[in-house]
Amino acid sequence: MKEQQARSDERDDSRHAFTWGIPAVVVVLLGALAYFHALQQRFEVPIEMPPAQSAPGGEVPAAPSNK
């Protein structure tokens, strides 16, 4: 009887570790993702687009017309 109880306790211990291990890993991964996201936002430099250059003379050349 004691041998069967010992095996049952071992299974319960492994289930207990499995039950607490998975949520702990998920929490650690979510924390790491949040940390890296905050770090990226902190050091991200906004990219400024240069203004569009217009054609010389300030006018857009007209398309040739077929007459």
pTM for this model (two decimals): 0.48
Query: Could you tell me if residue 61 is inside a domain?
Result: no
**Per-residue tokens: 17:** 């570790």
Model confidence pLDDT, tens digit, residues 5-42: 556 666 777 787 778 899 999 999 999 999 999 998 88
Q: What is the DSSP secondary structure assignment for residue 24, as one 8-state letter?
A: H
Predicted pLDDT at 60 = 58
H or E element at residue 50? none
User: Rounded CA gap, 17 and 11, in Å?
Assistant: 10
Query: Could you tell me if residue 24 is inside a domain?
Result: yes
Domain hosting 26: range is: 20-45
Provide the number of structural domains found in the chain: 1
Q: Is the separation of the CB atoms in 55 and 61 below 8 Å? A: yes
Query: Could you tell me if residue 38 is inside a domain?
Result: yes
